[in-house]
Amino acid sequence: MLTVEAEAKVPKADVSAQIELPSMPLLSFSEAGLIGQEQFETLNHKVKKGQTMSGIFTDLGLSQALLLKIIKHNEDGKRLTKVMPGTVLNFKIDAQKQLKSLQFDPSDKETLSIVVNEGEVSTELVAHELQTQLVTAKGSITHSLFGAGKQAGLTDKMVMQLAHIFSWDIDFVLEIRQGDSFSLIYEKVYKNGEYITDGKILAASFTNQGKAYEAVYFESEEGDGAYYAPNGRSMKKAFLRAPLNFSYISSNFNPRRKHPITKRIKAHRGIDYRAPKGTPVFAAGNGKVIQSSYNKFNGNYVFVQHPNGIVTKYLHFSKRAVKKGARVKQGQTIGYVGSTGMSTASHLHYEFVYNGVHRNPRTVSLPKAEPLAKNKMPAFERMASPLLAELSGLNQRLVVAN
Binding pattern to Zn ion, positions 339-368, x when CB under 5 A? ----------x-------------------
> Which stretches of 266-389 are assigned E, i.e. beta strand?
271-274, 280-282, 287-295, 299-306, 310-317, 319-320, 327-328, 333-336, 347-354, 357-359
Please, is 161 exposed, middle or buried when counting C-beta atoms within 10 Å of its C-beta (0-12, 13-18, 19+)? Answer: middle
Cα distance between residue 169 and residue 183, in whole Å = 16
Q: Confirm if 330 and 310 have CB atoms less than 8 A apart.
A: no
Provide DSSP, 224-246.
-EEEE-TTSBBS--SS-SSSB-G
Tell me the number of residues near Zn ion by CB under 5 A.
Answer: 3
d(CA 283, CA 87): 43
Taking a C-beta distance cutoff of 8 angstroms, is the pair 206, 180 a contact? yes
Contact window for Zn ion (CB under 5 A) among 95-103, 174-182, 265-273, 333-341: 265-273
CA distance 278 to 281: 9
For residue 346, the minimal CB distance to Zn ion (Å) is 12
CA dist., res. 61 & res. 98, Å (int)? 9
Q: Which is nearer to Zn ion, 100 or 349 (CB)?
A: 349
310 or 315: whose CB is closer to Zn ion?
315
Which residue's CB is nearer to Zn ion, number 160 or number 302?
302
Cα torsion at 169, 173, 175, 177 (round to 10°)?
Answer: 120
Q: Give the CB-side neighbour count of residue 331, counting CA atoms within 13 A.
A: 6
Closest approach, Cβ 264 to Zn ion, in A, equals 8
Rg of the Cα trace of the chain?
A: 31
Helix (H) or strand (E) holding 198: strand 194-208
User: Which residue, 214 or 272, is less far from Zn ion as judged by CB?
Assistant: 272
Could you say whether residue 270 binds Zn ion (CB under 5 A)?
Answer: yes
Residue 316 as a binder of Zn ion (CB under 5 A): the answer is no
Supply the minimum distance, in Å, between the C-beta of residue 273 and Zn ion. 9
DSSP string, 28-75: HHHHHHHHHHH--EEEEEEPPTT--HHHHHHHTT--HHHHHHHHHH-H
- 272 belongs to the binding site for Zn ion (CB under 5 A): yes
**Helix, strand, or coil (residue 149):** helix
Residue 171 Cβ, how far from Zn ion at the closest point, in Å?
15
Please report how close the Cβ of residue 109 comes to Zn ion at its closest, in angstroms. 48
Q: Which of residues 214-253 bind Zn ion (CB under 5 A)?
A: none
In the bound complex, which residue of the shown chain has the CB atom lying closest to Zn ion?
349
Pattern of binders to Zn ion over 286-305, x per CB under 5 A? --------------------
DSSP tag of 376: G
Contact 121, 69 (CB under 8 A): yes
**Residue 175 or 272 with smaller CB distance to Zn ion:** 272
**Sole window of 1-9, 96-104, 159-167, 271-279 interacting with Zn ion (rule: CB under 5 A):** 271-279
Return the number of the residue (215 or 353) whose C-beta is nearest Zn ion.
Answer: 353
- Which residue, 287 or 299, has its beta carbon nearer to Zn ion? 299
Kindly tell me which of 243 and 270 has the beta carbon lying closer to Zn ion: 270
Our CB check for Zn ion shows the closer of 79 and 349 to be: 349
> How far apart are CB 212 and Zn ion at their closest, in Å?
31
Nearer to Zn ion, 270 or 299 (CB): 270
CB of 289 to Zn ion, least distance (A): 20
Task: Please identify, among the stretches 25-33, 64-72, 262-270, 361-369, the one whose residues bind Zn ion according to the rule CB under 5 A.
Answer: 262-270
Question: From the CB of 112, what's the least distance to Zn ion, in Å?
Answer: 57
Q: Is 76 in the site for Zn ion (CB under 5 A)?
A: no
Footprint of Zn ion (CB under 5 A):
270, 272, 349
